[in-house]
Amino acid sequence: MTEQFKEQGGAATMDPGAALRLATSVLMTRLCTPQRLAKQRASVEKARIRSGNPHVVEYFHQVEDGYSHLAAQVLHALLKRYDIQIECHLVTGPRDKNAPEPQLLLQLSRYDALHVAVEYGLEFPCHDAALNPQLVQLAERILAAQASHDFVERAATVGRALWADDEATLQQLAAQYGCATVATASERIAAGTARREELGHYSGAMFYYGKEWYWGVDRLYHLEQRFADLGIDREPAAPPLVPRPGIEPAVLKDVGRLTLEIYASLRSPYTAISFDRAVALAQDTGVNLVVRPVLPMVMRGVPATRQKGMYIFWDTAREARAAGVPFGNFYDPIGDPARNGYSLYPWAVEQGKGIALISAFLRCAFAEGVNINKEKGLRKVVEQAGLDWTRAKPLVGKPGWESPLEANRMAMYNAGLWGVPSFRLLDETGKELLALWGQDRLWLFAREIQRQLLARK
């Protein structure tokens, strides 16, 4: 451990891991400041005015993606409410290193969209199985024949028939709206995917405006606020079309019947901004809390692109600001810092401080810019958690923590999840009531806990 924590004499003497952590940390911290964002937005708007261009939003639609179907249902309302133009593109889903589990992602999109649709005033059917590939192709051909203004009006109708497995209606829509050839549809999908790549993204259901990305209905509240700030909201006194649901205060309290599981990673920006809020949710509602740490994807051999990493960190910073959560003074804990944190976790649990250790680690790494690769940095984490450094120090790097983390990962995968943070709500028998991925689903778990408690009264 002494060698591991040895002070580095500068970039020239750094080990490759330390050099990567420093470079990543400096870059991400600088890119995500509110000041830089404000400057970039002002520059974008100045250039738009100079060129005389309208406010153009580009939308990227993945036909078989549940999130895209939700987004399609708000296109018309967006165009009516705001002084904008919408250019629509057909795209493939994320591929290769940007989507290590593409089928799981599509499966989650169906399950997740079903649960959030009604909360947003939208619709989505229960559709456990993957869509019929022939119907997907037919829907793509119909939409490929539409100019953007028609796409806005017709995408939800086409999607409704597709998700209902209604081939007859899709054939009627093809006759009514037009239907491109397979080759033409493929060309349009390729062009849309290339455009998305050119602009720097990889997913479906994405909105792009003025050098910023907005994912599906869950991020539209950011885009709507931006439109309001620009003065292009035609109904400024009205609430947003898709407001972000908040975590509602607990009305009913549990007596230990329900359990909330948190799958957390020490290197996850999204975990960093949601962990304390998830713990608070469990405490406020009285449900049992089980924390199940997992190894970060990139540390278990799952590749990640720079493009994806940049978007995740930038999006997390935006979400953190909206939630009032400290974030952005970042020192990447990838590699040994995370392993050292995990090695102390079993002991911290024995001391009744497991949750406190994870909370302190995430806060130091993502909000306080602490270099946890150094002894003084890890000591700060330990002491912020209320633990004794003299007792912790001999345990740093000890093996034995790997198997429990792998068991947690397998449990997460068995629930149809694979990323962090993920959450599961279980009843008193251990039956799963809800299992979802993402910090932006805490509000849904809060509502589901209240529904379950009301049903048990």
3-state class percentages of the chain: helix first, strand second, coil last, to nearest 5: 55, 10, 35
Is the pLDDT score of 82 beyond 70?
yes
Task: Give the domain 49-230 fold.
Answer: Glutaredoxin (3.40.30)
Residue 163 CB burial class (10 angstroms; 0-12, 13-18, ≥19): buried
Per-residue confidence (pLDDT) for residue 190, from 0 to 100: 98
- SS3 at position 90: strand
Q: What secondary structure does DSSP assign to 287-319, as a single string?
A: -EEEEEE---GGGGT----HHHHHHHHHHHHHH
Per-residue confidence (pLDDT) for residue 426, from 0 to 100: 98
Residue with tokens 């793509």: 140
- Are the CB atoms for 139 and 158 separated by under 8 Å? yes
pLDDT confidence bin for 120, thresholds 50/70/90: very high
Query: How many Cα atoms are found within 13 Å in the side-chain-facing hemisphere of 119?
Result: 19
Mean pLDDT of 189-195: 98
pLDDT confidence bin for 71, thresholds 50/70/90: very high
Mean pLDDT of 371-393: 97
Residue with tokens 């960190």: 313
**Tokens coding 264:** 């957390």
Average pLDDT of the chain to the nearest whole number = 93
- The pLDDT > 90 percentage for the chain reads 85
Decide the pairing of beta strands 56-61 and 422-426: unpaired
Rounded to whole angstroms, how far apart are CA atoms 111 and 128?
Answer: 7
Q: Show the beta-strand stretches assigned E in 317-378.
A: none
pLDDT in tens, 274-307: 999 999 999 999 999 999 999 987 766 666 788 8
Rounded to whole angstroms, how far apart are CA atoms 239 and 236?
Answer: 8
Range 259-455 classified under CATH 3.40.30.10: yes
Is the pLDDT score of 363 beyond 80?
yes
Alpha helices for 53-181 (secondary structure H):
66-72, 75-81, 102-117, 133-144, 148-163, 167-177
Contacts of 151-157 with CB under 8 Å at 24 or more apart are: 151/61, 151/75, 151/88, 152/75, 152/76, 152/79, 152/86, 152/88, 153/75, 153/76, 155/61, 155/72, 155/75, 155/88, 156/69, 156/72, 156/73, 156/75, 156/76
The total number of residues shown for the chain amounts to 457
With the CA atoms of 246, 249, 255 and 257 taken in that order, what torsion angle do they form, in degrees rounded to the nearest 10?
A: -20
Q: What is the domain partition of the chain in residue ranges?
A: 49-230, 259-455
Which of the pair, 33 or 231, is modelled with greater confidence? 231
Rounded to whole angstroms, how far apart are CA atoms 344 and 357?
Answer: 8
Rounded to whole angstroms, how far apart are CA atoms 212 and 225?
Answer: 13
Residue with tokens 């989505």: 124
pLDDT in tens, 34-47: 999 999 999 999 99
Least confident range from 4-13, 36-45, 114-123, 218-227: namely 4-13
Measured CA angle at 260 (ends 365, 454), to 5 deg: 135
**Residue 56 forms beta bridges with which residues?**
85
- SS3 at position 422: strand
Task: At 215, give phi and psi (nearest 5°).
Answer: -90, 110
Same fold, 49-230 and 259-455: yes
- Are the CB atoms for 72 and 159 separated by under 8 Å? yes
Instruction: Give the containing element (helix H, strand E) for 194.
Output: helix 182-199
pLDDT in tens, 46-65: 999 999 999 999 999 999 99
**Residue 60 forms beta bridges with which residues?**
89, 206
CA distances from 386 to 86, 271, 393 (A): 52, 21, 14
